[in-house]
């Protein structure tokens, strides 16, 4: 999990500075709409919406865009869109398992775009259940390291249900059960520790280590999938070592 998380963090930091910024904004906006539609338009009473707005703000999405998305999702302006969540499964290069989470208003378009991205980048679509059994739903909270030690974070969240704290270099990653996500984030705030994000994710039970060539192939596949507006999240069980990650960042 931590190897993939380091790579994901690096990708996220770079993506905020390149041409994918607009696509990232669109996905944050869609998350807000869906969260408001499911749990109502009041962030104080809707933890999912609260986190979606927090994440959008932390990634510099304009407040006007956030408010319009909240209103659309809650149906306050009569223009709510009915999105559906669809999971696709595939095997990527080097036998890496991939889960693709789509949020779309057009099932056929999403399926077509996912299939094209997978087949053009060395992957093969898999039957439902043939990949997902290797993943489990987990809660993940990320915290900027700053002056904090791993013990500082661990002591704050241990009694709130946290399972482990991983050191990812510039950040700490707190893993818990999805049902403990709110208690963990609350425990951090009560301890005076700000967090970057708190969300549900899929953690692999078995990882596949890759060399730099394999890492590049997997990253190309993930990038191609994330280019689709319908794809919200891509989860893999790739294990990219610190040495391989350093090679990638040096290029």
What are the tens digits of pLDDT across the range 158-170?
A: 999 999 999 888 8
Same domain, 126 and 212: yes
- The larger pLDDT score, comparing residue 111 to residue 39, is at 111
Instruction: Please determine, for residue 24, whether its predicted confidence score (pLDDT) is greater than 90.
Output: no
Mean per-residue pLDDT, 101-108: 93
Q: Is pLDDT at 2 greater than 70 in this prediction?
A: no
Whether the per-residue pLDDT at 128 is higher than 80: the answer is: yes
**Which band of pLDDT confidence, cut at 50, 70 and 90, is reported for residue 7?**
low
Domain at 69, CATH number? 1.10.10.200
Q: How far apart are the first and last CA of the chain?
A: 24
In a domain, 179, yes or no: yes
Q: What integer pLDDT is reported at residue 106 of this predicted model?
A: 93
Are residues 117 and 236 located together in one domain of the fold?
yes
Q: Is pLDDT at 1 greater than 70 in this prediction?
A: no
Host domain of residue 36: 2-74
The answer on 217 and 106 residing in a single domain is yes
The sheet with strand 231-236 has its strands ordered as: 124-125, 84-91, 97-104, 231-236
Rounded CA gap, 234 and 231, in Å? Answer: 8
Q: Cβ of 3: how many Cβ atoms within 10 Å? A: 22
Phi then psi dihedrals of residue 177, to 5 deg = -70, 145
In a domain, 210, yes or no: yes
Average pLDDT for 82-97: 93
Stretch 85-99: mean pLDDT: 95
Q: What is the largest CA-CA distance in the chain?
A: 52
pTM: 0.84
Question: Is 249 within the bounds of a domain?
Answer: no
61 by Cβ neighbours in 10 Å (0-12 / 13-18 / 19+) ranks as buried
- What is the CA angle 183-184-188, rounded to 5? 115
Helix 2-15 to helix 242-250 angle (10° resolution) is: 20
Say whether both 129 and 217 belong to one domain.
yes
Same domain, 26 and 52: yes
The DSSP output letter for 228 is S
Q: In this structure, is residue 174 part of a structural domain?
A: yes
Cα–Cα nearest to 5, from 251, 248, 237, 213: 237
Contact 161, 177 (CB under 8 A): yes
Per-residue confidence (pLDDT) for residue 5, from 0 to 100: 59
pLDDT at residue 58, rounded to an integer: 86
* Angle CA 18–20–21, to nearest 5: 80
Which CATH number does the domain housing residue 174 bear? Answer: 3.30.70.980
- Please report the pLDDT score of residue 18 as a whole number: 52
CB atoms near residue 208 (< 10 Å): 19
The number of folded domains in the chain is: 3
Question: Span 40-63, mean pLDDT?
Answer: 90
Average pLDDT over residues 24-46: 89
Position 250 in a domain:
no
Is residue 125 domain-shared with residue 145, that is, in the same domain? no
198/165 same-domain check: yes
Q: What is the pLDDT of residue 3?
A: 46
**225 pLDDT band (50/70/90 cuts)?**
very high
Beta-sheet pairing, 124-125 with 84-91: antiparallel
């Amino acid at each position: 999990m931590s190897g993939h998380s380091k790579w994901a963090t690096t990708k996220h930091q770079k993506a905020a500075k390149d041409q994918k910024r607009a696509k990232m904004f669109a996905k944050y906006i869609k998350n807000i709409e869906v969260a408001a539609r499911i749990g109502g338009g009041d962030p104080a009473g809707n933890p999912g919406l609260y986190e979606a707005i927090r994440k959008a703000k932390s990634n510099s999405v304009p407040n006007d865009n956030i408010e319009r998305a909240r209103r659309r999702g809650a149906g306050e302006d009569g223009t709510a869109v009915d999105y559906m969540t669809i999971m696709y499964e595939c095997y990527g290069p080097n036998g890496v398992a991939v889960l693709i989470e789509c949020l779309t208003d057009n099932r056929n378009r999403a399926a077509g775009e996912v299939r094209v991205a997978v087949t053009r980048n060395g992957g093969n679509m898999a039957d439902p259940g043939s990949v997902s059994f290797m993943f489990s739903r987990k809660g993940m909270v990320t915290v900027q390291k700053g002056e904090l030690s791993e013990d500082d974070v661990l002591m704050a969240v241990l009694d709130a249900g946290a399972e482990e704290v991983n050191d990812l270099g510039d950040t700490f990653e707190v893993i818990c059960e999805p049902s403990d996500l709110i208690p963990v984030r609350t425990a951090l705030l009560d301890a005076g520790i700000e967090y970057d994000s708190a969300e549900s994710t899929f953690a692999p039970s078995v990882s596949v280590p890759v060399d730099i060539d394999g890492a590049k192939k997997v990253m190309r596949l993930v990038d191609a999938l994330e280019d689709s507006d319908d794809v919200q999240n891509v989860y893999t069980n790739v294990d990219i070592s610190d040495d391989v990650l350093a090679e990638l960042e040096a290029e």
